[in-house]
């Protein structure tokens, strides 16, 4: 009998790309639950619209590109992009906002660059930034956290939420409000203590900001699960959170009216934890080596703080990640690990003749 000629290694560990993607999806669950608990049905509706749009868009483009559709859909990468975008969008945002964002993420940011593995920028963040620039009003009105809703007002139920999202009905007064980062952006010369006293978002908070602190804790839990299952290494997230904390300590300014906020507030507000564990860990668009990821993460942490503190936007994760995506190949060039038997690191562009 003739046996097949097969190259070594024979055998493989059971982990697959689909499984990694599914694990990422599962790990967003604590964050998703926290978002839904704090802000109502909006996130769930976002999620459904984004996933459906993304899968349709992915299939259509794969068909146009003559690629096997089922084979690529099974890698779950389109679903991950859709979920991450949906979780980043404000709840109860009109349906077409989600559709436009999903389409842009999948079609332009992912498939036009060659599909999975070839996108230089994080697709979800490209979609998010396009929406933020194009529809600033829709993108900046966040729902009020549950415990801060006025007397007698509750989050809209599923049907009411659907009518807000699809029929354009306006939610009841008091359902939308500011986020902690918004408050610091528009502090109107108040010192930090005054903000903390005046604003229920802070005065009723456990440690950072009502609602948002638990959303961030949710994403932190999900991130730690992924870290434990070794889906990614600690380098990127830790560098990002560390730099963000360091910057907010350096510029804490004793809580004066110029202070951009405390380290705890920065770490547990906005997209900090989601960004650290679910966005900048996207391997395709990040730096490749561990040392590279340290620099890449730190760069994102720095940019997030700089834009939050001195830029025009209250939060900056998407911009920071995209800017760092630009820098990733450059970082890679200088951060090759030292290989066994070599005395020093090499540069990726080093030529034989130069040595």
> Binder to another protein among 35, 49, 116, 164 (CB under 8 A)?
116
Measured distance CA(236)–CA(200) in Å, rounded: 34
> Binder to another protein among 154, 206, 233, 256 (CB under 8 A)?
233
> Binder to another protein among 39, 121, 232, 278 (CB under 8 A)?
232
> Binder to another protein among 13, 66, 170, 312 (CB under 8 A)?
13
Backbone angles phi, psi at 262, to 5 degrees: -80, 160
Q: Least distance from C-beta 60 to another protein, angstroms?
A: 19
Of 246 and 348, the one with the shorter C-beta distance to another protein is 348
Residue 273 tokens read as: 């934890």
- Measured from the Cβ of residue 258, the count of other Cβ atoms closer than 10 Å reads 13
Q: Could you say whether residue 157 binds another protein (CB under 8 A)?
A: no
Classify residue 53 by burial, with Cβ atoms within 10 Å: 0-12, 13-18, 19+: buried
Near another protein in 287-326, by CB under 8 A: 288-290
> Binder to another protein among 30, 90, 115, 301 (CB under 8 A)?
115
Q: Could you say whether residue 10 binds another protein (CB under 8 A)?
A: yes
Of 210 and 295, the one with the shorter C-beta distance to another protein is 295
Taking alpha carbons only, the member of 7, 20, 109, 115 closest to residue 64 is 115
Q: Could you say whether residue 351 binds another protein (CB under 8 A)?
A: yes
Of 95 and 232, the one with the shorter C-beta distance to another protein is 232
Near another protein in 60-99, by CB under 8 A: 71, 75, 77
Of 126 and 183, the one with the shorter C-beta distance to another protein is 126
> Binder to another protein among 149, 162, 227, 336 (CB under 8 A)?
336
Q: Could you say whether residue 7 binds another protein (CB under 8 A)?
A: yes
Q: Could you say whether residue 348 binds another protein (CB under 8 A)?
A: yes
- Count of residues touching another protein (by CB under 8 A): 51
The stretches of the chain forming alpha helices (DSSP H) are 17-27, 29-39, 42-64, 69-73, 77-88, 95-103, 123-134, 136-140, 158-167, 180-185, 192-198, 200-203, 212-228, 235-250, 263-267, 272-274, 290-310, 317-334
Task: Please spell the DSSP secondary structure of 174-201, one letter per residue.
Answer: TSEE--HHHHHHT-TT--HHHHHHH-HH
Q: Could you say whether residue 143 binds another protein (CB under 8 A)?
A: no
Whether the Cβ atoms of residue 298 and residue 280 lie closer than 8 Å to each other: no
Residue 296 tokens read as: 């890449």
> Binder to another protein among 66, 188, 312, 339 (CB under 8 A)?
339
Q: Least distance from C-beta 347 to another protein, angstroms?
A: 7
Q: Least distance from C-beta 103 to another protein, angstroms?
A: 21
Q: Burial letters for 164-189: b for 16+ Cβ neighbours within 10 Å, e otherwise?
A: bbeeeeebbeebbbbbbbbbbbebee
Q: Is 1 helix (H, G, I), strand (E, B) or coil?
A: coil
Backbone angles phi, psi at 176, to 5 degrees: -105, 150
Q: Least distance from C-beta 290 to another protein, angstroms?
A: 8
Residue 68 tokens read as: 């096997």
Q: Could you say whether residue 329 binds another protein (CB under 8 A)?
A: no
- Residues lying near another protein in the complex (CB under 8 A) are found at 1-13, 15-20, 71, 75, 77, 115-118, 230-233, 283-284, 286, 288-290, 332, 336-342, 346-352
């Amino acid at each position: 009998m003739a046996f097949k000629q097969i190259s070594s290694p024979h055998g493989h560990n059971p982990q697959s790309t689909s499984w990694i993607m599914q694990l990422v999806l599962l790990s967003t669950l604590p964050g998703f639950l926290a978002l839904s608990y704090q802000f109502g049905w909006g996130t769930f509706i976002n999620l459904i619209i984004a996933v459906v749009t993304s899968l349709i868009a992915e299939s259509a483009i794969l068909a146009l590109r003559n690629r096997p559709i089922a084979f690529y859909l099974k890698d779950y990468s389109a679903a991950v992009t859709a979920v991450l975008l949906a979780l980043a969008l404000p709840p109860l945002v009109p349906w077409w906002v989600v559709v436009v964002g999903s389409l842009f993420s999948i079609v332009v940011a992912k498939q036009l660059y060659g599909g999975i593995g070839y996108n230089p920028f994080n697709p979800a963040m490209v979609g998010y930034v396009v929406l933020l620039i194009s529809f600033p009003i829709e993108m900046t009105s966040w729902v009020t956290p549950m415990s801060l809703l006025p007397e007698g007002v509750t989050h809209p139920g599923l049907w009411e939420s659907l009518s807000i999202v699809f029929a354009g009905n306006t939610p009841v007064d008091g359902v939308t409000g500011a986020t902690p980062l918004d408050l610091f952006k528009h502090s109107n010369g108040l010192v930090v203590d005054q903000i903390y006293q005046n604003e229920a978002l802070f005065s009723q908070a456990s440690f950072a900001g009502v609602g948002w602190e638990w959303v961030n804790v949710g994403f932190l839990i999900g991130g730690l699960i992924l870290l434990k299952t070794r889906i990614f290494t600690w380098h990127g997230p830790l560098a990002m959170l560390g730099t963000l904390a360091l910057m907010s300590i350096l510029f804490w300014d004793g809580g004066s009216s110029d202070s951009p906020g405390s380290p705890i507030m920065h770490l547990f507000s906005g997209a900090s934890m989601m960004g650290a564990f679910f966005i900048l860990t996207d391997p395709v668009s990040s730096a490749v080596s561990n040392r590279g990821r340290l620099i890449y993460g730190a760069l994102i942490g720095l940019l997030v703080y700089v834009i939050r503190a001195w830029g025009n936007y209250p939060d900056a994760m998407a911009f920071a990640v995209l800017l760092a995506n630009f820098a990733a190949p450059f970082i890679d060039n200088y951060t090759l690990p030292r290989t066994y038997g070599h005395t020093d690191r090499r540069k990726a562009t080093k030529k034989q003749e130069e040595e």
